[in-house]
């Protein structure tokens, strides 16, 4: 087992999500954190990095310097994890791609479609792996549902209902809170809040499981809490290529819901339903038969889902394990590549820069629809 | 306890819903079936009526004759229950109203807004009670949620998510089936199927619980089963008067769902959620506190809901009891009126011709929106 | 459709359960209340009976007189419903049996095994139908589970877990409450409270669904609320004839539970689980396959269960309908008998005096076990 | 942050649970695996250890040698994790304790009460920390329920219902399977299988949350699968010191259940209910108020539970995180001790050798009860 060296940009002191990424990577012990630019404040970056066991000369205050120097070292990092504010994803990812370093970046990938398109182009030209951490696609149940759809168990898909309900922004955010700019300042969050943050998860999860491509959208972005600038509740009617229809609802004002990402898929031959808060189970209702509850580990999943199973049925796996699965796929693919082997499609079992681009385009089109009075807007 | 005599139009042999109405009325023993026009076939009507214990001279093949003769008898029916196909509601209700007989009619009330407006006008002019059997409003839990909203426990309402999912039309309907015309023939079902049949329940239930008025809608009516003319899946974005927003989804192709009418209401101070398939319970999540599960009978409902409680907590009440509650309210109000007393607002605790009109208008506007490419259409 | 005349003993003013029985019978319109002894207070009995539409000369203050006179009338009642306090069941049922009148009695049937044995003997000798209203056996889902077990879908049964949890006696009962004697006075309630009231439902429901006979029991009756004489919480280990095992728990101090009667049956080939608070559904887990959720009305039940289906799937049926099903079976069997036809086993699809006797024996043996320090006691 | 060096005995190639322990420890990065005796086969042990990154001279085929040599090194391991078959726990733990090395051992701790008593005595005499990995006590929800009971929110506890249902042994185990001896051979598994394996989790979890001490038990160990020697289904009636009562059921033949450990606690003032398959939530029903659903992360837990919170509400934490919490508490306490600080009670927030001893005593008493015909047996 080789331990692939990796670096991180962002994820400094107090940055919760950086710690989640590190623990997720650490879970399978396939990659080791060897370099980092954790904060623009040089002292903070160094102190944080040392506490993480990184050697001083590989702690950087400037990500450009990090990309440069790590690309020159014989023991340099093989991939970088970008967990900075969304507004900076583009330039950071670009810098590492240009130096030939593989990338994993948080979602949403960039502010604009053009930026994501350029990252996609760059990664293709440089022949580099580029993962985007749509966490929820890492659940074994999601993999199994994708397999079932792909195997035709639902027949042609007719309708998809996707929801993502949270309550954590149901009250006005204190202006003095460090989170406030994320929720009120478009220069930090981009053109949307609720849509960009959680709506893109719905878009990505539906696409991952069903393979459906969106043809056009009609969206309404609401700001329902008094005094809020950005959206906190979003409805989207979706037409997919090929005739299927969809309806998405995402909300951050939904008292009673913590993180209720729920996907229901209806086809000619049956339906699937899954909810992120109970990730080990999903239901399958075949035409003319009772609803069945599938349980990760108990009911044999096909090999492409089964390989992500970590512990027997009934021992809950959670979001850390889903996160770890994304990295497991990415790092194993990278290891194979570094061994000089050719990657096949099933190796690339993680959300890529293309999915990242799709997400940014979805956000952009929905914002456009809503700004023009909730009219229909074509995706392409 | 007086037994008020009533009559029925429709509900002949094989007509399932007529039997449900009769059993619902019978449950509280406040009214007795004394006349009927159960079928246009005179022999069938008479045979059916006699089996129900009605005297022969009060069995009619023509509802006009029934309206005429019953209005002339000293022991004539005081109200009529209309459970015929939707296309005939208007003329039948009109005939009885004109003869001074109170009316209860199935929903949707009529085919057109104009027809409903005329029925509303007529009932007002004649000073007659007019109930419309939106069954689900009869559940005690619905009454209690309405009371909680009205008492301000949710604060200003921000968003409503209403769903009604069924699977019974997920397969093509056999053309030779007696149900087929209902699902394919606009002359029988009107301009919509799924929307008119179950979408109007969502519209009514939201209005009943929240008191919100719809300002405009943007709807997409889908026909997702191959070869189907009428809609079997409907999405509606709703703007309410006053700034609240809503999203409705109704479907008859939803494998895995029998009759899943679900309402979720989000306000400034908390949320409510209820599902028709578990009608004795609802959840209330107050701002900053855990979600609470209310149980009919266990957790003291306010008197206006408590009065519909029939049996202690944990002994499920079902749809027959909800139906019976609608009639209980209607017949008790009628009895009070017949006693010469003045009715106050809380007496009129049943869906009236106004709600029926609102439902027809909702259907009409949604159909218009969808036909024009899912554009926004004002309700008024 | 003949309307069989019936009478009632008990169920006077304020007696909740009598009204439930009457409404349950009325639901199918197969029998009509024609006589009654609703109260030992002659005036009360008469007033109550008249309000129910019974003619004065058939309102009795003494059940013996009622049995005598009704048995002599040509239009006399064909069966009597006994809904008096448990302590009086025996003598009342006996009086009517002796006069050749069929009987339906509330459970638990009598105070002692000997009394029940005599009633069983009498009904056999007189060739009379004798129903005992174990309500929960009336649910279509219960009928279907019984059919599945009987058809061998579970293989040999290995273990049964039965629970019945309520919270309504979790607090000390006010001594001045009219309910108090029922909970504290053995001359009213017999030797047990929780066991007799709800434990016997578990015993009966398990027997109904599985057909298992109890060989011996080891029981602990607890009085967990300070100052309470009778039991409010009961645990029973059960050995069945043939080697299967069982565990029953019933409680009336279980905060959080209204009326949670739950049965889980484990066999060699699969398991069944059902809960009375969601009576339209049950789960079936076959060996090696996912858990399946069966839904009354959606998933075709076999004819012996399907015949009790009243309304399509997803329209909840509740406890009134279950009650009505018991009476439907009883009255239809009686009608067939009165028509001079021979009854076959499937006609007798209601809990009989034998089940009533089993229940009383179960109570007696459990009390004996508990009194002797929770030792094992044979049933026979 | 110091990384405390630790060693492992057992957990060699193919030993699933060893890997879970290592990943759980690794999650918080507080301790590092530095030595091991993974297999009695020297070559296997070394190969496995090297793959885990351990230096060759610290890979042992004999745990005695490991205890000796590690205790002599200045950089020797500070604690050892024992994950060998149950029959060997005693001698291995003893060897390390005698060399002054702290211990974490899998459950059940030993085969006999005497062995556990000696380990308890030894750890006290040597003043060493001794953790026993009752995994499920690591869940934040369990910590919070323990806090609520301890704060008196339930009042005096009256009754506890504990269940642990699995289906994985519902079919006869293939004799040739490597698992077979565990299920059939008492020299490997001790006097019980189902009771020892999962029954002890119920015993421990109830004790942890409630603080109740068991006074006596009446148990029935069943072998319900044909040809099985050891128990696969267990019922236990429990009397606690102080008057509370309990009922435990554990089963491995329960089709439909993966790992359904469920605890319900009923007190004078309310009840708590929790299920391991949905570990982030529990319900609390206060006297006279609706049932409340608590959600880890959303509803503020008290600090003693909150400190185990890893990710916001609605992002499921699973069994790996629970496991990690046990080690987090253990390693943090050990670090404090190694820093020369005095440990206070809240530092020792992990199941200790005393709980291990309680578990072994519970198993022994239940086996004794069952062997003697399910009679009552005193715990002490």
User: Of the candidates A166, A280, A311, which has its C-beta nearest D20's C-beta?
Assistant: A311
Tens digits of residue pLDDT in C183-233: 667 776 677 899 999 999 999 999 999 999 999 999 999 999 998 889 999
Q: Which CATH superfamily is domain A140-312+359-378 in?
A: Dihydrodipicolinate Reductase; domain 2 (3.30.360.10)
Cβ of D299 within 8 Å of Cβ of B289? The answer is yes
Subunits in contact with chain B (3 or more CB pairs closer than 8 Å): A, C, D
Tens digits of residue pLDDT in C117-152: 999 999 999 999 999 999 999 999 999 999 999 999
- What residues contact D116, with CB distance under 8 A and at least 6 apart? D90, D109, D110, D353, D356, D357, D360, D361
Cβ of A256 within 8 Å of Cβ of B271? The answer is yes
Tens digits of residue pLDDT in C245-278: 999 999 999 999 999 999 999 999 999 999 999 9
Q: Which CATH superfamily is domain B4-128 in?
A: NAD(P)-binding Rossmann-like Domain (3.40.50.720)
| A291 min Cα distance to partner chain C (Å) | 5
Decide if A171 touches B, using CB distance below 8 A: yes
pLDDT over 60 at B341, yes or no:
yes
Subunits in contact with chain A (3 or more CB pairs closer than 8 Å): B, C, D
Cβ of D290 within 8 Å of Cβ of B292? The answer is yes
CA distance A357 to A82: 16
Identify whether the C-beta of residue D286 lies closer than 8 Å to the C-beta of residue B292: no
Give backbone dihedrals phi and psi of A151, rounded to 5 degrees, phi first: -80, 0
Instruction: Give bridge partners of residue D222 from the DSSP assignment.
Output: D233
Mutation target among C290, C299, C314 for the A interface, most CBs of A within 10 A = C290
| D27 min Cα distance to partner chain A (Å) | 6
Local confidence band at B140 (pLDDT 50, 70, 90 cut-offs) = very high
| B98 min Cα distance to partner chain C (Å) | 33
Helix H segments across chain B? 16-27, 42-51, 63-72, 89-98, 113-125, 140-150, 180-184, 186-189, 194, 200-210, 303-306, 319-338, 353-371
| C376 min Cα distance to partner chain B (Å) | 33
Chain A residue numbers touching D320 (CB-CB < 8 A): 27, 310-311, 317-318, 320-321
pLDDT over 70 at C52, yes or no:
yes
Q: What DSSP character marks residue B374?
A: S
- Closest-approach residue (CA) in chain B for D296: B290
Decide if C301 touches A, using CB distance below 8 A: no
pLDDT at C190: 74
| A235 min Cα distance to partner chain B (Å) | 7
Cβ of C170 within 8 Å of Cβ of D287? The answer is yes
Tens digits of residue pLDDT in B244-290: 999 999 999 999 999 999 999 999 999 999 999 999 999 999 999 99
Subunits in contact with chain C (3 or more CB pairs closer than 8 Å): A, B, D
Domain ranges (residues) in chain C:
4-128, 138-317+359-378
Decide if A259 touches D, using CB distance below 8 A: yes
Cβ of B260 within 8 Å of Cβ of C313? The answer is no
- R_g over Cα of chain C: 21
pLDDT at A1: 44
Decide if C39 touches B, using CB distance below 8 A: no
pLDDT over 60 at C329, yes or no:
yes
| D122 min Cα distance to partner chain B (Å) | 46
pLDDT over 70 at D164, yes or no:
yes
C138-317+359-378, which class in CATH? alpha beta
- Closest-approach residue (CA) in chain D for C288: D255
The reply to whether omega before B109 is within 30° of 0 (cis) is: no
A36's enclosing H/E stretch is strand A31-37
CA distance D209 to C233: 21
Chain A residue numbers touching D318 (CB-CB < 8 A): 311, 315-318, 320-321
Tens digits of residue pLDDT in D200-245: 999 999 999 999 999 999 999 999 999 888 999 999 999 999 999 9
Task: Write down the mean pLDDT value for chain B.
Answer: 94
Tens digits of residue pLDDT in D243-278: 999 999 999 999 999 999 999 999 999 999 999 999
Decide if A312 touches C, using CB distance below 8 A: no
Tens digits of residue pLDDT in C268-314: 999 999 999 999 999 999 999 999 999 998 887 899 999 999 999 99
- Regarding beta strands D270-275 and D214-222, do their DSSP bridges make them parallel or antiparallel, or are they unpaired? unpaired
Decide if B320 touches C, using CB distance below 8 A: yes
Chain D residue numbers touching A164 (CB-CB < 8 A): none
Task: Write down the mean pLDDT value for chain C.
Answer: 94
Cβ of A287 within 8 Å of Cβ of B255? The answer is yes
Cβ of C235 within 8 Å of Cβ of D237? The answer is yes
Chain B residue numbers touching C277 (CB-CB < 8 A): 280, 314, 316
Mean pLDDT of B97-113: 97
Decide if A166 touches B, using CB distance below 8 A: no
The domain defined by D139-311+359-378 folds into Dihydrodipicolinate Reductase; domain 2 (3.30.360)
pLDDT at B182: 65
Return averaged pLDDT per consecutive 10 residues of chain A, 380 residues in all.
Answer: 87 88 92 94 90 94 96 97 95 98 97 97 98 98 98 98 96 73 69 91 98 98 93 98 98 97 98 98 97 92 93 96 98 97 96 98 97 97
| A224 min Cα distance to partner chain B (Å) | 6
Decide if D13 touches A, using CB distance below 8 A: no
Q: How many CB atoms lie within 10 A of CB C3?
A: 13
Chain A residue numbers touching D21 (CB-CB < 8 A): none
Decide if C276 touches B, using CB distance below 8 A: yes
Tens digits of residue pLDDT in A150-189: 999 999 999 999 999 999 999 997 666 666 666 667 776 6
- What residues contact C206, with CB distance under 8 A and at least 6 apart? C160, C162, C212, C246, C248, C263, C265
CA distance A119 to A91: 9
- What residues contact A188, with CB distance under 8 A and at least 6 apart? A85, A86, A87, A181, A182
pLDDT at A184: 66
CA distance D205 to B131: 56
- Closest-approach residue (CA) in chain D for B301: D290
Give backbone dihedrals phi and psi of A289, rounded to 5 degrees, phi first: -135, 160
Chain C residue numbers touching A300 (CB-CB < 8 A): none
Q: How many CB atoms lie within 10 A of CB C14?
A: 11
Cβ of C295 within 8 Å of Cβ of A299? The answer is no
Tens digits of residue pLDDT in A190-211: 778 999 999 999 999 999 999 9
Token pair for B269: 């101070």
CA distance C352 to D251: 34
Chain A residue numbers touching D312 (CB-CB < 8 A): 168, 258-259
Chain A residue numbers touching D260 (CB-CB < 8 A): 314
CA distance C217 to C206: 14
pLDDT at C41: 86
Chain A residue numbers touching D51 (CB-CB < 8 A): 1
- Closest-approach residue (CA) in chain C for B281: C277
- What residues contact C299, with CB distance under 8 A and at least 6 apart? A289, A290
Chains C & D: contacts with CB separation below 8 Å: 101
| B286 min Cα distance to partner chain A (Å) | 7
- R_g over Cα of chain D: 21
Chains A & C: contacts with CB separation below 8 Å: 28
Local confidence band at C182 (pLDDT 50, 70, 90 cut-offs) = low
Please report, rounded to a whole number, the percentage of residues in chain C having pLDDT higher than 90: 88
User: Of the candidates D253, D273, D376, which has its C-beta nearest C158's C-beta?
Assistant: D253
Quote ipTM for the complex. 0.95
Cβ of C277 within 8 Å of Cβ of B29? The answer is no
Name the 3-class secondary structure at C62: coil
Give the residue with greater pLDDT, C325 vs D300.
Answer: C325
Give backbone dihedrals phi and psi of D88, rounded to 5 degrees, phi first: -105, -5
| C285 min Cα distance to partner chain D (Å) | 5
- Closest-approach residue (CA) in chain D for A316: D318
| C184 min Cα distance to partner chain A (Å) | 42
CATH of the domain spanning B138-315+359-378, picked from 3.30.360.10, 3.40.640.10, 3.90.45.10, 3.20.20.70: 3.30.360.10
Please report, rounded to a whole number, the percentage of residues in chain A having pLDDT higher than 90: 87
Decide if A218 touches B, using CB distance below 8 A: yes
Local confidence band at B117 (pLDDT 50, 70, 90 cut-offs) = very high
Global pTM? Answer: 0.96
Mean pLDDT of C154-159: 98
Which D-chain residues 88-107 have CB contacts (< 8 A) with chain C? none
User: Of the candidates C311, C316, C321, which has its C-beta nearest B279's C-beta?
Assistant: C316
| B281 min Cα distance to partner chain D (Å) | 11
Cβ of B27 within 8 Å of Cβ of C29? The answer is no
Cβ of A299 within 8 Å of Cβ of C293? The answer is no
Q: What DSSP character marks residue D29?
A: T
Tens digits of residue pLDDT in A258-289: 999 999 999 999 999 999 999 999 999 999 99
Task: Write down the mean pLDDT value for chain D.
Answer: 94
């Amino acid at each position: 087992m080789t331990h692939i060296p990796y670096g991180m940009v962002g994820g400094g002191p107090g940055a919760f999500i950086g710690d989640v990424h590190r623990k997720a990577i650490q879970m399978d012990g396939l990659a080791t954190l060897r370099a980092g630019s954790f904060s623009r404040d040089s002292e903070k970056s160094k102190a944080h990095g040392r506490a993480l066991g990184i050697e001083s000369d590989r702690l950087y205050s400037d990500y450009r310097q990090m990309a440069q120097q790590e690309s020159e070292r014989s023991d340099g990092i093989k991939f970088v994890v970008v967990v900075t504010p969304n507004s900076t994803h583009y330039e950071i990812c670009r810098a590492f791609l240009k130096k030939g370093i593989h990338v994993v970046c948080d979602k949403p990938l960039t502010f604009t479609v053009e930026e994501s398109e350029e990252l996609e182009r760059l990664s293709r030209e440089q022949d580099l792996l580029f993962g985007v951490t749509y966490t929820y696609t890492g659940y074994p149940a999601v993999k199994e549902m994708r397999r079932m759809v792909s195997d035709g168990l639902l027949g042609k898909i007719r309708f998809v209902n996707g929801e993502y309900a949270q309550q954590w922004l149901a009250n006005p955010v204190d202006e003095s809170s460090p989170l406030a700019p994320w929720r009120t300042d478009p220069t930090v969050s981009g053109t949307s809040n609720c849509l960009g943050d959680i709506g893109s998860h719905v878009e990505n999860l539906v696409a991952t499981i069903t393979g459906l491509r969106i043809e056009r959208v009609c969206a309404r972005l609401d700001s329902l809490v008094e005094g809020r600038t950005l959206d906190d509740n979003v409805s989207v009617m979706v037409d997919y290529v090929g005739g299927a229809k969809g309806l998405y609802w995402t909300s951050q004002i939904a008292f009673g819901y913590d993180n209720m990402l729920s996907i229901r898929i209806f086809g000619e031959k049956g339906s699937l339903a899954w909810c992120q808060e109970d990730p080990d189970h999903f239901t399958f209702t075949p035409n003319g038969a009772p609803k069945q509850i599938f349980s990760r580990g108990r009911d044999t999943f096909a090999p492409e889902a089964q390989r992500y199973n970590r512990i027997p049925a009934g021992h809950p796996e959670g979001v850390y394990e889903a996160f770890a699965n994304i990295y497991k796929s990415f790092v194993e693919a990278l290891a194979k590549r570094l061994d000089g082997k050719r990657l096949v499609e099933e190796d690339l079992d993680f959300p890529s820069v293309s999915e990242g681009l799709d997400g940014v385009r979805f956000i952009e089109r929905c914002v456009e629809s809503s700004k023009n009075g909730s009219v229909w807007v074509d995706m392409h």
